[in-house]
Amino acid sequence: MALFFILLLAFVSLVSTLLMVFSSGNMIPYTDANGRVLPGSLSEKSWVFINGIEMGMIIKSKDFRKPVLLFVHGGPGMPEYWLNHSYPAHLEELFTVVWWDQRGAGLSYNANISPETMTTTQFVEDTISVTHYLRQRFRQDKIYLMAHSFGTYIGIQAAARSPELYHAYIGVAQSVNLALSEELAYGWMLDFYTNDKKNLAKLKKAPYGTPAYEGLRDRVMHEAGIGTTHKMYSVITGIFLAVMKHREYMLKEKLQIWQGKAFCQKSIVNEEFRQANLSDIVTRLDIPVLFFSGAYDYTVNHYLSEVYLEELQAPEKHFYLFEDSAHSPIFEEPEAVLAILNELICQR
């Protein structure tokens, strides 16, 4: 028994040491071949008061004079800067990229945030207010708005409300009708796991719409290659460990990611998102619209995204299907994405 406790203490000590080693929280600058920081580059973690609370954001740029791109992450409550380390999107080659953590998420998590403020209306207002801050700071009349997954529910409403603030709206895994998308995903997985009796039985015992399914969903989606990325087969190694190993977050900030995710999942905005149908909410955008979808994406059904874009009124609109991607084509096929975005910038 004594040996067991000694080994347990040694294990806990080792894990604690590793967490501290991987949690300096220092931002990694952009440097040249000689190790000198690139003039005009930014690698910054900062906090700004937005609509009554302190919100955190990470800003990365090789040249702050480049167009600003505001990234509205998914979740609800799941920042994605850490994912950019595992799957570099290289957006900073074209933009000054602002990885903003939404109200109650990650760097913006605070236990004192009132749950009553966690509404769709407030999130849209926050997006517009952050946009105004960035326009003023970087002295740009308009910026680019990119949103992912849950973030597309917020981002497209912000773009519809204040199109004069944005050059274009880019929806990555554009959500439309989450309830229908989830139902289609469940049916797809029943077919996919036909020859896997163990997982098939679990799915049949946990039908779509039940708490049991919610507990099973992420694992079976990732194992089927239809989760965060087509080749991320485990949420433990692909998400949890990736966050915990990220050196640019302090340990406190890593814990805030999980606290914020839990807080946001119980929020009003999450319930509104789950019940919404964007086809009834946003029918017109007065700016160019681009949708990026992965062929293997059943987290947000790409067929629904394509149909929605066909119906959406906009001066210019493009749908791009990435054949080797699931839910995150900007991280899975970055070279193809950058080529499209570079053309978009050149046209402005």
Residue 2's pLDDT band (cuts 50, 70, 90) = low
Which one-letter amino acid corresponds to residue 68? V
Kindly report whether the peptide bond that precedes residue 288 is cis, defined as omega within 30 degrees of 0: no
Q: How far apart are CA 174 and CA 172, in angstroms?
A: 5
Give domain status of residue 87, yes or no. Answer: yes
Neighbours of 167 (CB within 10 A): 20
Residue 291's pLDDT band (cuts 50, 70, 90) = very high
Neighbours of 93 (CB within 10 A): 16
The CA-based angle 128-149-79, given to 5 degrees, is: 70
Examine the pLDDT at 1 and tell me if it is beyond 70.
no
Give domain status of residue 228, yes or no. Answer: no
Residue 15's pLDDT band (cuts 50, 70, 90) = very low
Q: What is the pLDDT of residue 22?
A: 56
Specify whether the CB–CB gap between 32 and 71 falls below 8 A: no
Least reliable range by pLDDT among 5-14, 97-106, 113-122: 5-14
Give domain status of residue 240, yes or no. Answer: no
Condensed to tens digits (0 to 9), the pLDDT of residues 201-239 reads 999 999 888 889 989 999 999 999 999 999 999 989 999
- What is the rounded average pLDDT of the residues 12-35? 66
Q: Hey, what's the torsion of the CAs at 70, 72, 77, 81, to 10 degrees?
A: -60
Give domain status of residue 325, yes or no. Answer: yes
Q: What is the pLDDT of residue 97?
A: 98
Condensed to tens digits (0 to 9), the pLDDT of residues 243-273 reads 999 999 999 999 999 999 999 999 999 999 9
**Where in the sequence is the domain holding 130, given as residue range(s)?**
42-181+256-347
| DSSP element (H, E) containing 75 | none
State what percent of residues in the chain have pLDDT above 90: 87
Q: How far apart are CA 20 and CA 245, in angstroms?
A: 10
Examine the pLDDT at 287 and tell me if it is beyond 50.
yes
Examine the pLDDT at 17 and tell me if it is beyond 60.
no
Specify whether the CB–CB gap between 347 and 244 falls below 8 A: no
Which one-letter amino acid corresponds to residue 234? S
Give domain status of residue 304, yes or no. Answer: yes
Number of domains composing the chain: 1
Alpha helices, DSSP H only, in the chain? 2-21, 83-86, 120-138, 150-161, 178-192, 197-205, 211-223, 235, 241-244, 251-265, 268-275, 278-281, 302-311, 329-332, 334-347
> What does the mean pLDDT of the chain come to?
91
* Cα atoms in the Cβ-side hemisphere of radius 13 Å centred on 185: 30
Residue 306's pLDDT band (cuts 50, 70, 90) = very high
Q: What CATH number does the domain containing 312 carry?
A: 3.40.50.1820
Examine the pLDDT at 10 and tell me if it is beyond 90.
no
Position with higher pLDDT, 3 vs 233: 233
Examine the pLDDT at 19 and tell me if it is beyond 70.
no
Q: What is the pLDDT of residue 347?
A: 79
